[in-house]
Amino acid sequence: MDFALPLGRPSSIKEFLAGVTLIGFALSLSISLVLPFEFSDPAFHNTYYVVGSFHAIALEFLVTDFFSSFFLAYGKEERLIRSRSSMLVYVASATALSYLMAFAGYEGLIRREVIFPGRLFHYMYAMSGLAFVVVSSISLSFAVVIGDALSRYLKRVDSVGGQDLHCGKARAQEDA
């Protein structure tokens, strides 16, 4: 089996998705490297560093892998190109959010605490803003694909004369 890294300008959407997933994996791995060691675990375990590490794995690797699976199962490459920019915005904002969480944990933001020092408020505001961008871009990316599928379905319904494609009576009357 021959394996080539998707570097440079991708020639297809499959290469683009493979590259984005590979980058997401590398970014999520880099932030989680210090956690399994006993000498660093007590310092980071109860902070937002762990939260950032988890979000790096979940957002940058698992969700991008789901993107790839969903888009490759969907098919038509020319329709998927419209989702490329929102996917890049998603990966960039998810990466920034994960690393900001880890940095806030490094600065002393304790997880599971409602009260925290005022000097950490700007981290919380930035995390909220980035979370909004992450959710908006993932929603936009899926909305493009689902909207295309819905418009093709509605065109098919109109081409049958407005009849519902799943209605057995209308089909039986047309055949008779």
Q: Over the stretch 89-116, which tens digit does the pLDDT of each residue have?
A: 888 888 899 889 888 888 888 887 777 7
Beta-bridge partner residues of 47: 110
Higher pLDDT, 146 or 11: 146
- Examine residue 90 and state whether it is found in any structural domain, yes or no: yes
Residue 8 resides in a domain:
no
Q: What is the CA radius of gyration of the chain?
A: 22
**pLDDT value at residue 128:** 92
Alpha-carbon gap, residue 80 to 133, rounded angstroms: 20
Residue 1 lies in a domain: no
Give the tens place of pLDDT for each residue, 130-140. Answer: 999 999 988 88
State the residue for tokens 């990316």: 141
Could you write out the DSSP letters of every residue in 119-152? GGHHHHHHHHHHHHHHHHHHHHHHHHHHHHHHHH
| pLDDT: which is higher, 69 or 91 | 91
Question: Is 168's pLDDT higher than 60?
Answer: no
Q: Is the residue at 5 inside a domain?
A: no
Does some domain include residue 21? yes
Q: Which domain holds residue 101?
A: 13-175
- Give domain status of residue 6, yes or no: no
State the pLDDT confidence band at 1, using cuts at 50, 70 and 90. Answer: very low
Q: How many domains does the chain have?
A: 1
Whether this model's pTM surpasses 0.85: no
* Lookup: tokens for 161: 């004369």
pLDDT band (50, 70, 90) for residue 61: confident
pLDDT category at 160 given cuts 50, 70, 90 is low
Confidence of residue 3 (pLDDT cuts 50, 70, 90): very low
Q: Does residue 3 sit within a domain?
A: no
96 vs 174, higher pLDDT: 96
Q: Is residue 158 included in any domain, yes or no?
A: yes
